Chain A
Amino acid sequence: MNYHEAFLSALSHLASHKLRSALTTLGVVFGVGAVIAMLSIGAGAELQAQGMIERLGLKNVLIRAETLAGDQLQEARKKSAGLSFRDSEAILDAVPGVAGVAPKVEIDPYAIVAGTTTAEGLVYGVSESHGELAGLRLSRGRFLDAWDVRDHAQVCVVGKGLAEELFGFTDPLGSWVKVNDVWLRVVGILTASGGEADSFEGVPLGGSSRAIYVPVTTALRKFDRDALESPLTELIVRLDEASEGPSTARVIGGLLERLHAGVDDYQLVVPEALLEQSRRTQKLFNLVMGCIAGISLLVGGIGIMNIMLATVMERTREIGIRRAVGARKRDVLVQFMVESFTISAVGGLAGIVMGLLIAKGIAASAGWPTVVTPSSILLATGVAITVGLASGIYPARRAAELDPIESLRYE
């Protein structure tokens, strides 16, 4: 009897016990489904993390002003003026491996109006190099340039989402938008940025589709700001290719500590370190989920073994007949191994479908991006087949070792 025939006979036997076969496969179905869904969450999170880090810029170090209030703010300002152009110049001058520094100011917008439409959004004052450093991409028009910054020009670049909301079907380019009390002419529209999330590992990301970018000088001069507030909200420090994020960040940290007289009114963010951290979290998540999926597969395997043992008992007489008409021990072994393999293979296939559905479901309901990779399908299938074979060995051996004379008499 060859494998092809053994497989066909296994299928027909399983088909003759539909409910039992279906219940037996369930363990493997859930196990494989869990593995695929779990890995899809992992892969999705990894992709999202990479996308976000890209938005922060892997070769960037970010310095953010801490948001302080009340007494804390009073206390801090006695020694330090907050994040300012002085810091940006000092970093550019003193820290090796820095290719550029771009300042950023956050403005609290209480009104964003275009024509009769109002909308809510975020307003940032940035330098001309910000677009490149933060990885912003234009869909139309141009980004802010050096002239805009020099001239305190009343121009702006608008995120895609906000532009659609403010202008609808009319052309935003060249139109006017009023932020607080300042009129700004739209000179550029951004493309939709990757992902809708606005923060990563607790660090807010710029480049939202709901943002308006104005020249940093305009932001500082023409918008009202609290006198005690830090002059700049953020500095993006661009490192050159040769330098390492974490080590350069340490140098910058030392410099800032002196400039700010030891006051902790800023925060240093190293995307490279964030990525590392996110990977560690992901690894832990994968490990925990992997254990759960593994247990499910183990239980599935035990279920298969249990049913196979029952099947062997139930079919003792059949085994006796087969042996009498010329089946070798090996033939009986192969027959039951193939059957157990078939159960797990069918379960594995159903599990893959289930995994795909769960991954889709998670993406739809929880809003997490999920990516089902071919390697995860391969891994899950491999594990399922291993489980099927491993749980089939013992029952199949028992079947093969049955004494034909006893088996033929078995009631």
Chain B
Amino acid sequence: MALIKLSNIRRTYQVGNTEVRALAGVDLSVDSGDYLAIMGSSGSGKSTLMNLLGCLDTPTSGTYELANTAVQELTDDQLAALRNREIGFVFQSFNLMPRATAQVNVELPLLYAGVSSTVRSQRAQAALEKVGLADRAQHRPNELSGGQRQRVAIARALVNDPSLLLADEPTGNLDSATSREIMTVLDDLNAAGVTVLLVTHEDEVAQHASRRIELKDGLIVSEHRQGWDA
């Protein structure tokens, strides 16, 4: 069953008097449980696609269906609720709140879901356990290593049981050993049934995905299934 269905998505920006076309008609369908890597050089439109998929942005034209919801028709508040419910973000620069403990950072999505504080605490604890950081719950980000920070971010992305995990260059700020560690966490999550969307320009990272698409000038130029061809 298709979790994501993009058809003829276009996104243009107005920069001064010129119109910049970031996406020029993208069609994409992602099934539940997929492990997809989006690749492309800078300026290819992959960030724009990522923002659209993450419901942070809406397309200029075209339709986007996420979990049977027509995203392009939603209001700002509905988009926020959808992000809260269906999407977990993992960023290159972790994007944790520096003054809050790992626990509080992980609880953040639950706060906006209106979950009571005792349940929040339990679920955050469980999410931290899933990424192997149960003993670091009361540490602040600056007391954690890069890999640990990214795990906290993954725990935060998972805590609401979203249907989609969006990881934007999740290993971009990490050394290769830690990168492998983080990718293992993502692989395990996918194996456990989480749909993972990976934006990267590193081949090695993209290898983990079962399917990969390449963007160029706002269009999907190639699509591979792992093991089918190369």
Contact = CB atoms under 8 A, between A and B. Distances in A.
Contacts of B56: 323-324, 404-405, 408
A326 B85 contact: yes
Interface string B78-91: 00110111000101
22 contacts: A1-B111, A2-B114, A5-B111, A317-B95, A320-B95, A323-B80, A324-B89, A324-B95, A325-B108, A325-B109, A325-B112, A326-B83, A326-B85, A326-B113, A328-B81, A328-B112, A329-B77, A329-B80, A330-B77, A331-B80, A405-B51, A408-B91
B125 to A, nearest CB: 18
9 closest A-B pairs by beta carbon, nearest first, are A326-B84, A326-B112, A325-B109, A328-B80, A328-B77, A321-B95, A327-B112, A326-B83, A404-B56
A408 to B, nearest CB: 6
Contacts of A328: 76-77, 80-81, 112
Nearest to A323: B80
Q: Which of B77, B85, B108, B117 has the most CB of A within 10 A?
A: B108
B80 A327 contact: yes
A408 B83 contact: no
Interface residues of A, number: 22
Interface string B201-219: 0000000000000000000
B165 to A, nearest CB: 13
A397 interface: no
Nearest to A4: B117
B99 interface: yes
Interface of A: 1-2, 5, 13, 16, 317-318, 320-331, 404-405, 408
A284 to B, nearest CB: 50
Nearest to B108: A325
B20 interface: no
B59 interface: no
Contacts of A331: 80, 112
Interface in B134-159: 156
Contacts of B109: 325-326
B2 interface: no
B160 to A, nearest CB: 8
A325 B97 contact: no
A57 to B, nearest CB: 66
A311 to B, nearest CB: 12
Interface in B59-96: 76-77, 80-81, 83-85, 89, 91, 95-96
B85 A324 contact: no
Contacts of B97: 318, 321
B95 A408 contact: yes
Nearest to B97: A318
Given A325-B89, A331-B112, A408-B95, 19 more contacts: A1-B111, A5-B111, A317-B95, A318-B97, A322-B108, A322-B112, A324-B56, A324-B89, A324-B95, A325-B84, A325-B108, A325-B109, A326-B83, A328-B81, A328-B112, A329-B76, A329-B80, A331-B80, A405-B51
A62 to B, nearest CB: 71
A288 B146 CA distance: 60
A318 B91 CA distance: 13
Contacts of B51: 405
Contacts of B77: 328-330
B76 A325 contact: no
Contact of A13 (B85, B99, B156): B99
B169 interface: no
A321 B76 contact: no
B57 interface: yes
B45 interface: no
Contacts of B40: none
Contacts of A324: 54, 56, 83, 89, 95
A405 B57 contact: yes
Contacts of A325: 83-84, 89, 108-109, 112, 156
Contacts of B114: 1-2
Contacts of A13: 99
A329 B79 CA distance: 11
Nearest to A325: B109
B108 A16 contact: no
A323 B76 CA distance: 10
A192 B112 CA distance: 67
B42 to A, nearest CB: 13
A318 B85 CA distance: 19
A322 to B, nearest CB: 7
B173 to A, nearest CB: 14
A16 B95 contact: no
A329 B97 CA distance: 18
